[in-house]
Structure 1
Amino acid sequence: MASLLLTRLSLHSLRSSLSGCRHVSKVAPQAQMEWDYDGPCMKTAVPGPSSMERLKQLGEIQNVDAINFFCNYEESRGNYLVDVDGNRMLDVYTQISSIPIGYNHPALHKLMADPNNLSTFVNRPALGILPPGNFADKLAESLLSVAPSGMTRVQTMACGSCSNENAYKAMFIAYRNKERGPGGPTQEDISSCMINQEPGCPDLTILSFMGGFHGRTMGCLATTHSKAIHKLDIPSLDWPIAPFPRLQYPLEEFTRENAAEEARCLEEVEDLIVQWRQKGRPVAGIVVEPIQAEGGDNHASADFFKSLHSIARKHGCAFHVDEVQTGGGATGKFWAHEHWGTDDPADIVSFSKKLLTGGYYHKNDLQADKGYRIFNTWMGDPSKNLFLVEVLNVIRRENLLEEVTRSGKALLQGLYALQEQYPGLLSRARGQGTFCAIDIRDDPTRSKILLKARDKGVLLGGCGERSIRFRPALIFKEYHVALFLNIFNDVLAEFK
């Protein structure tokens, strides 16, 4: 049955040896996009000799322990990343979920060639004090055109970490302003904050979840609990940490057990809020991912998130939904929180990655009350808004969210079939859209699978303790799914 399903999903894919390439799987050429390659082409081991030479060179300048290989971005196309040794790989990881419409999309090249855009690319203004004259119009055309329900304000930033860092600041500022009322800060507030003391530096907290990832900067690290390597040796803030539901899969077979698990976690969230208030360290905000990505692609139900928002509202906490990795369409909706089916999803929604720029949307009462309170030199980059406008045009014109839904269904069905075929190796296939993952029996085996897949021309990423996560671009179509499943099946067969 599993083999039959994989055969159907393969769309009659065939084996071939490409000229100058080692053996790879390949789909029928008539399926490909004009500017996409027709399949992987592996010429050397990865990393190859050119990558190794550059690794040695860069290693004399900075730490290179995390580098996989060096890339030839000029030759990369669509869903394929090419390295400096000429290896062409199907990229199902996309720079940690950050490439929305593939490599070297013609629409973005056309944008770069337009002389009317030169000033935006050449000049990077300090947006907080000297923005360009068309900045509000460009935000309306880009970020505000996809704003979460109920939000009309957006603060741009450079990346996901600084987006969350400043979102936390906004929650603290709003909380203290409510506490003070119309009087504003006292002289004691002003003087004590300069020496990191109360009341100017209040002992407020943010509640986060075990398994969550919100960034590597100092404030964000206090809410990041996915891997020890992120936090080891770094002083941090003692803030409350709640358990995130550990659901059993397939979801439809464990409805009662999963509901009880979510209820347990919600009860602990509320208990923590009360306990920390009693300790004189109130929870000013709750931060959560719609799907815990770095922590292992951990899901929860729409009812869980809606109940969590209600708890936050009940206790006067801001509710911050971190869509840095889930935002931008990978789940089949532009925002993962849209799957919750509510018109009031959050007080703050942060973003980055597929949106090309960072920042956060927020409700009116989280607007900073004075200039320079939420501030840095650049606060984003107007050129990224230009790119985002064109990315959104491509998403709409090519109906890419519908494409993601179709491809995601094929991908998840294929993972279910492989899971059935290799029960001692794979488990817990899960996902929304193409934002999918599957568990491997142990971490060492996962590492070997990732390397063997790369050697056969497929780039994947790990997450959590033993999961593989799939993060293709929005242009990842059903025939790309079939190609991936064939190669992945070849890899898995070596572990049978």
Structure 2
Amino acid sequence: MHETRGGHLEGTSPAPAELRPQFTEHALPFLRPAAVPTVHAVLLLSLDRWLSEASHSGLTHVLLSAAALVMATSLISRQLTLSLQNNFRLSAAGSRYISKAAAKAQLDYDYDGPLMKTTVPGPRSQELMKQLGEVQNVGAVNFFCNYDDSRGNYLVDVDGNRMLDLYTQISSIPIGYNHPALLKLMANPNNLSTFVNRPALGILPPENFPDKITESLISVAPSGMTRVQTMACGSCSNENAFKSMFIWYRNKERGHNSPSEEDLSTCMINQAPGCPDLSILSFMGGFHGRTMGCLATTHSKIIHKLDVPSFDWPIAPFPRLQYPLEEFTRENAQEEARCLEEVEDLIVKWRQKGRPVAGIVIEPIQAEGGDNHASPDFFRKLRGIARKHGCAFHADEVQTGGGSTGKFWAHEHWGMEDPADIVSFSKKLLSGGYFYRDELQADKPYRIFNTWMGDPSKNLFLAEVLNVIRRENLLEEVARSGKALLDGLYDLQAQFPGLLSRARGQGTFCAVDVCDAATRDRILLQTRDKGVILGGCGESSIRFRPALIFRDYHVHLFLNIFSDVLAHNK
């Protein structure tokens, strides 16, 4: 059975006393605050605003406010249905991983645990796959989702299976599904035009855009970053960050003088010097996107690159650390020194080839490539190499940014005195873009440009997500639950030494290796059929990417299920 636990919304005001009985409790007696506080609060908030607009505004505002009410009611109607169903309890599981103290820390808007009705994908998902397969490739589709019923840390599919989600849409859901704070934001009629109208931000931004950028992105700008360029996704963020590095490099080469006539004429026929033979240095195992420039720096899976033309850009080795780290201090230091030496050699070699390195791009943790880590010392020295050779230094935080490592930006763990030149982001920040230093500002309009340049509605959501992170101290929660998760993985790899190895992570951004890819894939499917969604990466790794609201209770619940699956595969 399903279970719903409501969470009160702060700051809501009641409907006018003379109208509230008619429009709320009397007309809808099942909407009682004690029974379903989240639904009750959001509906009352919307009704209040609708009635207020009706009293003080013209017809257009009334209609817009009514539309907002309909939107909010639609979003929460499914949660209302769930709120009237019986509770599902996991306390009877008797697992040694689930403590009474942890159980008390459950979220008000979360489910108590998984509920599986079919194998995954179930019959309805399979039916929809067949339908969608008639118009596009569905080979990557896992199953179809019921996002109305999904809540907190749990994703519900169209067959009614409720799963604890430790993958969160490839690490892109910051505070879980249908968070009350975001539902409240959607219910506010003042935000309606932002959701309805998507402007071309590069030429016609809305009046509140500067304020919303400041409230959201600038409020979490990395050290040394004074500017931000919004984009739509991770790939276009990195693609335009690369362009910024190239433009900066050429301006520096020209002494910041205007381009020559030869520059202007040759660029239109894809020839130097207008289209210079510059390069970006990347790392084996890295993933920076699937667009043309990004794909030249992506080296994680063959399927991403096969049959697509690319650039002759240098590829350096990324350190392959041995675990446990404390037992291989000397060996790992030697491995990192080897990789750094290769970086310098490649920079010199490509300069001699007439294709100088304009920038170095690297992930703080190589996520898609297998959750590969390096020490803070490695990254500090790499930054020094970039500075020494006049290359821009680009930290790609598309997957690591947003708090899952226990700090908002993973590169904060490096302790760098000389910050990066560019930090790109997407996923948990709900849109895309990159922060950059003043000197990387494009010198003319339209050089970094596309139609939408992001989405202002996502800035509204991000500002509220950041409020939740601060209000609920979620970075501290991530550090706490991340320690519990990693400790649990250490225990499991000790319990199943032939099956698991190299448990590693920062915060909840964790991974563990499985003995081989086939076993890894089988474990992922079996774990999903027991109600937990995980992700694979690299050759045979399992990666964990829960939302920031993932607590100790969820850790222990997961470990209980995961342990059972491993026991059947040893």
Per the TM superposition, whether the score is higher than 0.5 is yes
Maintained 8 Å contact 2:90/2:113: no
Specify the structure having the higher radius of gyration (Cα): 2
For 1:316, the equivalent position in structure 2 comes to 390
Query: Counterparts of 1:189 and 1:33 in 2: how far apart (Å)?
Result: 59
For 1:331, the equivalent position in structure 2 comes to 405
User: Equivalent residues in 2 for 1:50-61 (5 A)?
Assistant: 50-61=124-135
For 2:342, the equivalent position in structure 1 comes to 268
Maintained 8 Å contact 1:440/1:468: yes
Query: Counterparts of 2:137 and 2:534 in 1: how far apart (Å)?
Result: 23
User: Equivalent residues in 2 for 1:171-186 (5 A)?
Assistant: 171-186=245-260
Query: Counterparts of 2:184 and 2:353 in 1: how far apart (Å)?
Result: 58
2:295 pairs with 1:224: no
3-state DSSP of counterpart to 2:255: helix
Maintained 8 Å contact 2:98/2:556: no
For 2:41, the equivalent position in structure 1 comes to none
Query: Counterparts of 1:345 and 1:287 in 2: how far apart (Å)?
Result: 14
Maintained 8 Å contact 2:371/2:511: yes
User: Equivalent residues in 2 for 1:157-236 (5 A)?
Assistant: 157-236=231-310
Superposition deviation, residue 14 in structure 1: 4.1
Superposition deviation, residue 230 in structure 1: 0.4
Superposition deviation, residue 31 in structure 1: 3.7
Give aligned pairs, total.
479
Question: What is the aligned counterpart of 1:253 among 301, 324, 327?
Answer: 327
For 1:301, the equivalent position in structure 2 comes to 375
Maintained 8 Å contact 2:145/2:158: yes
Query: Counterparts of 2:141 and 2:422 in 1: how far apart (Å)?
Result: 33
TM-score by length of 1: 0.95
For 2:452, the equivalent position in structure 1 comes to 378
Question: What is the aligned counterpart of 2:214 among 136, 140, 144?
Answer: 140
Query: Counterparts of 2:340 and 2:417 in 1: how far apart (Å)?
Result: 21
Query: Counterparts of 2:92 and 2:523 in 1: how far apart (Å)?
Result: 21
2:469 pairs with 1:391: no
Superposition deviation, residue 297 in structure 1: 0.3
Superposition deviation, residue 33 in structure 1: 1.2
Distance 1:13 1:253, change over 3 A: farther
3-state DSSP of counterpart to 1:439: strand
Superposition deviation, residue 27 in structure 1: 7.4
Identity in percent: 81
3-state DSSP of counterpart to 2:390: coil
For 2:145, the equivalent position in structure 1 comes to 71
TM-score by length of 2: 0.83
Which ranges in structure 2 are unaligned for 5 or more consecutive residues?
1-88
Question: What is the aligned counterpart of 1:35 among 88, 92, 109?
Answer: 109
Superposition deviation, residue 119 in structure 1: 1.2
Maintained 8 Å contact 1:208/1:287: yes
3-state DSSP of counterpart to 2:110: coil
Superposition deviation, residue 132 in structure 1: 1.0
Maintained 8 Å contact 1:285/1:320: yes
Superposition deviation, residue 436 in structure 1: 0.2
User: Equivalent residues in 2 for 1:412-451 (5 A)?
Assistant: 412-451=486-525
Query: Counterparts of 2:113 and 2:494 in 1: how far apart (Å)?
Result: 27
Maintained 8 Å contact 1:27/1:38: no
Query: Counterparts of 1:372 and 1:157 in 2: how far apart (Å)?
Result: 14
Question: What is the aligned counterpart of 2:122 among 40, 48, 51?
Answer: 48
2:421 pairs with 1:359: no
For 1:292, the equivalent position in structure 2 comes to 366
Relative CO higher for 1 or 2, CA cutoff 8 Å, sep ≥ 6? 1
Maintained 8 Å contact 1:26/1:39: no
Superposition deviation, residue 341 in structure 1: 1.3
Query: Counterparts of 1:87 and 1:182 in 2: how far apart (Å)?
Result: 60
For 1:131, the equivalent position in structure 2 comes to 205
Superposition deviation, residue 188 in structure 1: 1.0
3-state DSSP of counterpart to 1:181: coil
Distance 1:174 1:151, change over 3 A: same
Query: Counterparts of 1:344 and 1:183 in 2: how far apart (Å)?
Result: 27
3-state DSSP of counterpart to 2:361: strand
Query: Counterparts of 2:355 and 2:98 in 1: how far apart (Å)?
Result: 58
CA RMSD of aligned residues (A): 1.5
- Show CA shifts across 1:414-470 (max 9, x none): 000000000000000000000000000000000000000000000000000000000
For 1:117, the equivalent position in structure 2 comes to 191
Tell me which moved more, 213-222 or 185-194.
185-194
3-state DSSP of counterpart to 2:386: helix
Distance 1:182 1:428, change over 3 A: closer
